[in-house]
Amino acid sequence: MSGSTIQIKVQDAEVAGMLQRLFARLGNLTPLMRDIGEIVKERSMHSFATGAAPDGTPWKPSWRAKRTGDKTLILNAILRNSIHVQPGKDQVKVGSPVKYAAVHQFGAEKGSFGEVQAKVKAHSRKTRHGVQQVRAHNRRTQLPWGNIPARPFLGVNQHDWNDIRSSIIRFITTAEK
């Protein structure tokens, strides 16, 4: 056998008990994963409140927000209120089940979801020469009909990583009673 080994036998009952509790806790990291998930969720809530990505980059204002003076992605708060944390014993998932969450997180280019046939109702249209009547017809249109910029709301920044490190240290060093 090459190299050297050393064997340490813990004879202190308190230290042995702490090590046993640590080994038992490391087998199931669910409480730690819940804490980490809540840090990520809190950063997401901050993104919605400030209108900026987790790294602090401001979101491009939506046309609705520009028109009404409201915040982007906060019309009815469905997306914001759908963010949830799902901890497991060795991982945590933070996300939203809302269909359009990924589009807002990553953006989408015009036509990236294909085309649809839209029905246009008969209507009147004002032109330079007066009012023109438009008959009902079908029109093919791309989805989305325009580019949708990415407005990331999930993620972490350096401050969050510090909080995550602190949670890990607290989890490892705090003995359950």
SS3 140: strand
Q: Is the pTM of this model over 0.85?
A: no
Please give the pLDDT value at position 23.
73
Give the rounded percent of residues in the chain with a pLDDT score beyond 70: 92
Q: Cα separations (Å) of 151 from 68, 83, 154?
A: 19, 15, 9
| The residue to which tokens 């979101």 are assigned | 59
In this model, does residue 171 exceed pLDDT 80? yes
SS3 67: helix
In this model, does residue 64 exceed pLDDT 80? yes
Q: Cα separations (Å) of 170 from 46, 49, 115, 175, 176?
A: 24, 29, 52, 9, 11
SS3 133: strand
Least confident span in 16-25, 52-61, 139-148: 16-25
| One-letter amino acid for residue 60 of the chain | K
In this model, does residue 175 exceed pLDDT 90? no
Please give the pLDDT value at position 82.
94
d(CA 148, CA 83): 21
Angle of helix 13-26 relative to helix 158-173, nearest 10 degrees, comes to 130
